[in-house]
Chain A
Amino acid sequence: MTLWLIVRKSLRQHLLSTVITAVSIGLATGLLMSIVAVKDQSMRAFTNVTGGFDAVMGSRGSKLSLVLFAVFHMDKAPGTLTLKDLEEIQGNRREIKTAVPIVVGDNHQGYRIVGTTRGFFDVEYATGKPHTVRAPGRLFREKSQEAVIGSHVARQLGLRLGDEFKPMHGVSYDPNAVEHSAKYLVVGVLEPSNTPADHAIWIPLKGAQNMPGHDAEVSTDISAILIKFNSARQGPIFADQVNKGTRDKTVAMIAPEVTAFFQRFEWLRVVLGAMAAMVALVGAGGILASLHNTMNERRREFAILRALGARRGTVFGAILLESATISSLGVMIGFSLYAGFIAAAAHFIAARTGVIINPLEPNLVMALAPVAIVALGTLAGILPAMKAYRTDVAENLIPQS
């Protein structure tokens, strides 16, 4: 209680330096927690939103591009596959449980139009959860110019059942691009799944292949095939066989590819983590400097406290408690910054990819970083505390005869 009174008074007397130091510690804490948490949670979230598929087959090219293109609707297809390729895959009942073709080449207001079969919606994107259409909507008919739209697209573009739209050529929005003459009727809106499916417009495979303006010679080509294996063990073996045994096709395992993608940015995490550690050190240095600078003016205060009976250990403890309090205040500021940063990151990632990360998901860094930073801040108080400890009572009590 007495220590706390001494600390409270000192913090109030040196309010500006307390606030500045606490904010710098808060920045370090917030930055450190955000870097680790955003990376971990995004990796977990992206790895989990495979749409229920295990792998993607596409034309020979980058595996990552293939995954980003087919699953996250983000990149361009490296090439196309033929109808024969699809039939071969679908005929491989020994290894393949489901193979769903997709064709991508058009967009509406920047949202990709993906041609596929109704089989896509039968695959469970999470255990026991296939994609479903909000009542009173329904799935498109395979041979009609009908569309089912993702929940995010419906919300952003204000599309509703019965609305019509004309697809535009290209996977990205270009106001000068050719608008196809075909009109598509919205017959269903998907229930939100927190997967990239929410961010696409789904039309029948044949519709995408035969879009007016497309080259008739390639009207049976497909962009990629989403694959679900009979067993998880078969995936890597099958992928290896295709990747080594053919020259025109690539099979990319979705989850390992996403993990590898995030691991490519490990260096960035290390750099940002090091920067956060530097900021933490600067904050700790700030505590040391601000407390140390006040020691001279506080000598008389310590001498008076000692004259009242406070032991050397008491004034030593008061300074350590003060440095721990400043760093704890910093950690609290850090949590606020972290909450703001991760909420913004979650919003940004959801808006761009449809992948939802949980800002409140517990992460070890949320326990370790505050403890480490409070410990560091407390350690920074040792030097000033030693100075307070060594304060000579008689010398600093005035007057002396």
Chain B
Amino acid sequence: MAAAASMAKAPLFVSWEMIGMNKGKPPSTSRRRCINVPRMPLLEIRDLRKSYRTPDGKVLTVLNVPGFELEERQQMALRGSSGTGKTTLLHCIAGILSPDSGHLRLAGHDLPALSESFRDRVRAVNVGYIFQTFNLLQGYTCLENVVLGMSFGRGGEPRFARTLLERVGLGDRLDYRPSQLSVGQQQRVAVARALANKPKLVLADEPTGNLDPKNGQEALKIIREICEENSAALLLVSHDPAVLEQFEDCRDLAEINRAMQEEPA
């Protein structure tokens, strides 16, 4: 209730500074005045619902999340098999999908209340997304893929992109295209790209799903280390027990998402 009340007082306008675009400038005085306000979680979800209409006309509720929170720098794994709405949840958190109802506050922004353009900006600045199939841009080199990962947020900085690629062990593959890399190497490029905009939250959707166990473990290690080094929170969804058992904080997606327990309307 308290969280819902605080959301009701959310400002009706959004400034670049609030989104995180003040580029290291000192916070405004109004922000400093808020210093005694109780600290809010990085991600806070209340009564979030998302449904689709099926081809036969039925309404299928995919998401029904009564409550969920993730703190800054927290690393959490969600156990979810195929069809449990994990990608829809991650898309809603990233602002790619707009929920039907409910509250979703990310880094202080009530995403459903924002325009699409502002959601794009919030995502560009605050979210890094690692996809199961990596979603690397095929015509672009590794370096360009990573530079693009930061271009829409705080601005492209090839030197930092290079550093990230070196950190994931691809310093000698900067000018390679994804098709010239192994699957494991492509995953590492995707990790570097997700961290390129120095996000507050990294979303990872089955990040090891396409990797063999050895490469999967290696990729997971890199993801967790880099998130830690960059003070980014990590929300990882997987159905692989070998991945999930490495997280102290591991929850079942079915517990969070009640939609699976509902009958189609």
Partner of A309, one of B86, B121, B135: B121
* B 192-206 binary contact with A (CB < 8 Å = 1; else 0): 010001000000000
Closest to B153 in A: A309
Known: A2-B156, A305-B148, A399-B132. Is A311-B117 also a contact (CB below 8 A)?
yes
* Chain A interface, >50% SS class: helix
How far is B149's CA from A317's CA once the two chains are assembled, in angstroms? 18
How far is B129's CA from A305's CA once the two chains are assembled, in angstroms? 12
Partner of A311, one of B121, B125, B144: B121
Q: Is the CB of B135 within 8 A of A307?
A: yes
- Tell me, rounded to whole Å, the shortest Cβ–Cβ distance linking B13 to chain A: 18
A169: chain B residues at CB < 8 Å are none
Stretch at the interface among B36-44, B90-98, B162-170, B228-236: B90-98
Q: Is the CB of B152 within 8 A of A2?
A: yes
Closest to B148 in A: A308
Stretch at the interface among A5-13, A227-235, A242-250: A5-13
How far is B144's CA from A5's CA once the two chains are assembled, in angstroms? 8
Known: A311-B121, A397-B96, A398-B133. Is A9-B152 also a contact (CB below 8 A)?
no
Closest to A5 in B: B144
Q: Is the CB of A309 within 8 A of B123?
A: yes
A397: chain B residues at CB < 8 Å are 91, 96, 131, 135
- Tell me, rounded to whole Å, the shortest Cβ–Cβ distance linking B187 to chain A: 15
How far is B87's CA from A5's CA once the two chains are assembled, in angstroms? 29
Interface status of A256 (Cβ within 8 A of chain B)? no
How far is B140's CA from A301's CA once the two chains are assembled, in angstroms? 11
Interface status of B120 (Cβ within 8 A of chain A)? yes
Closest to A10 in B: B139
A10: chain B residues at CB < 8 Å are 139
Interface status of B84 (Cβ within 8 A of chain A)? yes
Q: Which of B84, B121, B131, B148 has the most CB of A within 10 A?
A: B148
Interface status of B151 (Cβ within 8 A of chain A)? yes
- Tell me, rounded to whole Å, the shortest Cβ–Cβ distance linking B186 to chain A: 13
- Tell me, rounded to whole Å, the shortest Cβ–Cβ distance linking A157 to chain B: 62
- Tell me, rounded to whole Å, the shortest Cβ–Cβ distance linking A234 to chain B: 74
Number of A-B contacts (CB under 8 A): 89
Q: Is the CB of B135 within 8 A of A401?
A: no
Q: Which of B131, B149, B151, B193 has the most CB of A within 10 A?
A: B151
Q: Is the CB of B153 within 8 A of A394?
A: no
Q: Is the CB of A13 within 8 A of B139?
A: yes
A399: chain B residues at CB < 8 Å are 87, 131-133
- Tell me, rounded to whole Å, the shortest Cβ–Cβ distance linking A61 to chain B: 70
Q: Which of B97, B124, B135, B137 has the most CB of A within 10 A?
A: B135
A305: chain B residues at CB < 8 Å are 137, 148, 152
Q: Is the CB of A312 within 8 A of B135?
A: no
- Tell me, rounded to whole Å, the shortest Cβ–Cβ distance linking A25 to chain B: 24
Q: Is the CB of A311 within 8 A of B151?
A: no
B137: chain A residues at CB < 8 Å are 9, 301, 304-305
Q: Is the CB of A9 within 8 A of B197?
A: no
Q: Is the CB of B139 within 8 A of A9?
A: yes
Interface status of B99 (Cβ within 8 A of chain A)? no
Interface status of B83 (Cβ within 8 A of chain A)? yes
Q: Is the CB of B131 within 8 A of A309?
A: no
Q: Is the CB of B156 within 8 A of A1?
A: yes
Closest to A396 in B: B135
Closest to B136 in A: A304
- Tell me, rounded to whole Å, the shortest Cβ–Cβ distance linking B83 to chain A: 6
| 11 new A-B contacts at CB < 8 Å, known A2-B151, A308-B124, A311-B116 | A2-B148, A308-B149, A309-B152, A309-B153, A397-B91, A398-B133, A398-B135, A399-B132, A400-B88, A401-B86, A401-B87
B residues engaging A (CB < 8 A)?
80, 82-88, 91, 94, 96-97, 116-117, 120-121, 123-125, 127, 129, 131-133, 135-137, 139-140, 144, 147-149, 151-153, 156, 193, 197
CB<8 Å pairs between A and B, sample of 27 = A2-B148, A2-B156, A5-B144, A5-B147, A9-B137, A300-B135, A301-B139, A304-B137, A305-B137, A307-B96, A308-B124, A308-B193, A309-B152, A311-B121, A311-B152, A312-B116, A394-B97, A397-B91, A398-B133, A398-B135, A399-B87, A400-B87, A401-B80, A401-B83, A401-B84, A401-B87, A401-B88
A residues engaging B (CB < 8 A)?
1-2, 5, 9-10, 12-13, 300-301, 304-314, 393-394, 397-401
